[in-house]
Structure 1
Amino acid sequence: MITGERDLRAGFAATFLIAFVAFSAARTDAAEDILFVSKQLTPQGEYTSGIEGPAVDASGNLYVVNFRQRGTIGKVAPGASQSQLFTSLPADSIGNGIRFDREGRMYIADFKKHNVWVIASGETTPRVYFHSDRFNQPNDLAIAADGTLYASDPRFASPSGGQIWRITRGPDGNGQGEVMSSTRRLGVTNGIDLSPDGATLYVSESNSRQVWAYRLDGSKLLDPRLIRGFADFEVDGLRTDVDGRIYLARLSAGKIAVIGADGSLEREVPLRGKEPTNLTFGGPDGKTVFVTQKDGGFIEAFRVGRPGREPCLQMPRIC
């Protein structure tokens, strides 16, 4: 074999090898990016049955309440498969919903002591942001682009009497809250989030198994509209994506319902666990949905095709 022919064949072999490796890597990436297939992320038993409040900060860290014991907050770093203790709330306080604003402040709804706590970016010590004796038991939180918080405030002992709070930041840096008025009597308010344009508030009700939409006008909930109801299985937390879809945890059904803004049921995502309590969007592109599981106390996750509303607030470049 002459030298030129040997070099030519070697070149073909190297090119084929590079192409094969690239093809294999592409297939691996595609396999890892299969949409709507959920996988268990953290070990069972890391969290109590009160596992709730998943929220992701701008650095991709996931935070979940009641890590190992009540009153704590766990943290899952990007790419990690186990949680670590982030912080503990003061004695007798128990967290539920968590959200982050654009400045990196963390807000935690404390249903036991009727507080909303805040933790400054880069810190771990909570301070009271807002307190009211008029709270029933603050449950979940939604946050607007301007930092306004909306808090669901159910009365689980009664099929009515639920409330929605609007909480804004005052000049002194503390929260100022008021119960929102509504033309409709609210049920057991639970999951809560905003439409991408911030004009509509979505609220799930545990007693009716329904999701309602309200047009926002300051502290008023106007034009109530039934988005969708279910004949069985309690509904819990919900979040919206950048296109206005609603991702809803169906407790005991073991599924996340994906609902169009028009109320159509686009799909249901089967989960590893059977008692999803809440969910949030995260990941480097905002297209990973993290789900908290009450039965077993763990977190699972699946990929979706469009980013969540909140990651787009924190990282506009991904949208």
Structure 2
Amino acid sequence: MAITSGRNFWCLCSSILLIVATPPAAAETKLFESVQVTPADEYTHGIEGPAADLDGNLFVVNFGKPGTIGRLPAGGTASEAFTALPEGSVGNAIRFDRNGTMFIADYKKHNIFAIPKGGTELAIWFHSDEMSQPNDITVARDGTIYASDPNWKGREGHIWRMAKAADGVVQGQVMSSPRAMGTTNGIDLSPDGKTLYVGESSSGQVWSYTIAGNALTDPKLVKAFQPDTIDGLRTDVSGRLYIARILKGSIALMKPNGAVEREIVLNGKEPTNLAFGGSDGKTVFVTQRQGGFIESFRTDQQGREHCLQRGRC
């Protein structure tokens, strides 16, 4: 029988105790790996317009039937009914401003609805029969709303600017541009609010514009994808663009100069739009037309809108 000295025995026991007492390192969620969050067919073929509030709730249009809004609670795996739009109205986009007000673009009745923070009652914030839709919207730091307004049959479009005047009345008009636009769709602002990014679905092109009051100036072609393969887009706080590649089944993560950093592979093939959420604004939720569900992945930067809601952008 081998004899172990007291000193060696103590060292051996200490090592064993150390190994037992030290818990294994927690597995970290891998970035850019998308997983399905909600069951299939919760939403209609018109699933769109995701937006998250600071409590971690995700809101998505057309839950169960057109004209509704669903809510996915923070950490949840199934959506629930939140509210319904007036008869005949159908939402296509949701955004939040710095005060937590929810704005909904109604493409059927040409409205922008507003719901105050913590409420469920809708009010018409802006309406114009001159609009073809609106389709997607984005909110600036000062509360100005920019909306894409495509004419799908004519394969053309415009951008609307809407803001409160000194008397508190919301005024809106089509923004002038030095170039004729295609079917304007996905839209978002740069972190400093000076540049507006617009995706044109018909051409598959993403353009940037400098905002000068009611005018869009200095148009630049950022990236040309294949025609009819882009939908919604969002920006993060570093200025990168996340573009829903509908029919391609991915999100293109792109620098402002048009260089694609990566293509994030999704579970479904028809992503319509995306939104940043989660406690740190670094979870990207994607609405999937193919299957009518929501999926998500983690990224390394928080979204501009999430930062805006916290009053930091």
**Which TM-score applies when normalising by structure 1?**
0.92
Opposite residue 70 of structure 1, the aligned amino acid is P
For residue 104 of structure 2, what is the aligned residue in structure 1?
A: 108
Paired residue total = 310
Q: Deviations over 1:63-106 (max 9, x none)?
A: 00000011000001111010011110111100011000111100
What percentage of aligned pairs have identical amino acids? Answer: 54
Structure 1 runs (4+) deviating above 6 angstroms are 1-10
CA spacing shift, 1:166–1:12, aligned 2, 3 Å: same
For residue 235 of structure 1, what is the aligned residue in structure 2?
A: 230
For residue 191 of structure 2, what is the aligned residue in structure 1?
A: 196
Indicate the RMSD between aligned Cα atoms, in angstroms: 2.0
Q: Deviations over 1:185-218 (max 9, x none)?
A: 1110000000111110000001100000000001
Shift of 1:163: 1.0
Matched, 1:137 2:130: no
Say which structure is richer in helix: 1
Report if aligned partners of 2:98, 2:311 keep a CA contact under 8 Å in 1.
no
Shift of 1:316: 5.5
For residue 21 of structure 2, what is the aligned residue in structure 1?
A: 18
Q: Deviations over 1:296-317 (max 9, x none)?
A: 1000001111111111112357
Opposite residue 123 of structure 1, the aligned amino acid is G
Q: Deviations over 1:95-154 (max 9, x none)?
A: 011000111100000000010000011110111000001111100011111111100000
Larger radius of gyration: 2
Q: Deviations over 1:241-265 (max 9, x none)?
A: 1111110011101111111101111
Q: How does 1:185-224 map to 2 (within 5 A)?
A: 185-224=180-219
Report if aligned partners of 2:201, 2:228 keep a CA contact under 8 Å in 1.
no
Aligned mates of 1:90, 1:71 — CA distance in 2: 8
For residue 300 of structure 2, what is the aligned residue in structure 1?
A: 305
Q: Which of 27, 40, 43 pairs up with 1:44?
A: 40
For residue 123 of structure 1, what is the aligned residue in structure 2?
A: 119
**Which TM-score applies when normalising by structure 2?**
0.94
Shift of 1:159: 1.7
CA spacing shift, 1:8–1:69, aligned 2, 3 Å: same
Opposite residue 284 of structure 1, the aligned amino acid is S
Shift of 1:18: 3.2
For residue 58 of structure 2, what is the aligned residue in structure 1?
A: 62
Aligned mates of 1:57, 1:172 — CA distance in 2: 29
CA spacing shift, 1:121–1:173, aligned 2, 3 Å: farther
Gaps of 5+ in 1: none
Report if aligned partners of 2:202, 2:228 keep a CA contact under 8 Å in 1.
no
Report if aligned partners of 2:68, 2:90 keep a CA contact under 8 Å in 1.
yes
Matched, 1:273 2:268: yes
Aligned mates of 2:37, 2:166 — CA distance in 1: 41
For residue 179 of structure 1, what is the aligned residue in structure 2?
A: 174
Gaps of 5+ in 2: none
Aligned mates of 1:50, 1:77 — CA distance in 2: 20
Aligned mates of 2:17, 2:126 — CA distance in 1: 64
Matched, 1:248 2:243: yes
Shift of 1:175: 2.6
Q: Which of 96, 105, 109 pairs up with 2:92?
A: 96
SS at match of 2:62: strand
Aligned mates of 2:53, 2:114 — CA distance in 1: 14
Opposite residue 246 of structure 1, the aligned amino acid is L
For residue 85 of structure 1, what is the aligned residue in structure 2?
A: 81
Shift of 1:52: 0.3
Deviation larger for 122-131 or 223-232: 223-232
CA spacing shift, 1:7–1:79, aligned 2, 3 Å: farther
Opposite residue 234 of structure 1, the aligned amino acid is T
Matched, 1:261 2:264: no
